[in-house]
Chains A and B, each alone.
Chain A
């Protein structure tokens, strides 16, 4: 069955960086774009960016340009999201989600989420 398994919770200090992984299984990794979406406590879903695992092409939300980097390693079917210069308002649950490349843009499958806490 399709699974997206994310790395575990992180606690970081302001100004630090965090890298979250998303291991995909149960489908052809290069057929699905991987999106990253975050959810601050009590808030809605906020899209951050997506990566095309086939060619590594990326698109970022303007808000995160220059501070978020998406990468992938096709040999181990894993996508990564790195956020630099963390602030307290980056405290959130971060999700990866897969979207079939030929679909109308919906995310079929989601990871379990990774809580990132930014605190001094």
Chain B
């Protein structure tokens, strides 16, 4: 089964830019989705299809995907962005989604 690797944690000061990576073998040919999950809440889709924001998601959230790494970028980070972020792709070989292990974003 396809494996996605995320760093356990990322820290950033308010107002700075956070970059959360998601590694996978040739992930650039796959389509990557990102979810934000705050403590005690269900995940919320923040980026789909590599870099598309659903309605209601701030423009500060963006995504990119190339080679073996996909990246979720959060610009002008706010305290309210502190959460776990999970990347996900569809594994066409086994016909199901695969999630990364999640990254905890801490706003200093």
Contact = CB atoms under 8 A, between A and B. Distances in A.
Contacts of A113: 42
Interface in A37-67: 37, 44-47, 49-50, 59, 61
Interface string A20-47: 0000000000000001010000001111
A11 B42 CA distance: 20
B22 to A, nearest CB: 12
Given A105-B31, A105-B33, A44 B99 contact: yes
A47 B88 CA distance: 10
Report the interface size class on chain B. 20 to 34
A110 interface: yes
Interface residues of A, number: 23
Contact of A110 (B42, B49, B98): B42
Contacts, number: 58
A108 B45 contact: yes
A3 B89 CA distance: 24
B51 interface: no
B48 A44 contact: no
B43 interface: yes
B106 to A, nearest CB: 15
B32 to A, nearest CB: 9
A84 B31 CA distance: 34
B23 interface: no
Contact of A105 (B42, B44, B86, B90): B90
Interface of A: 35, 37, 44-47, 49-50, 59, 61, 95, 97, 99, 103-108, 110-113
Interface of B: 31, 33, 35, 42-45, 48-49, 54, 86, 88-90, 95-102
Given A45-B88, A105-B90, A110-B44, 18 more contacts: A44-B100, A45-B86, A59-B95, A61-B96, A95-B42, A95-B43, A97-B43, A103-B48, A104-B33, A104-B48, A104-B90, A105-B33, A105-B88, A106-B48, A106-B88, A107-B43, A112-B42, A113-B42
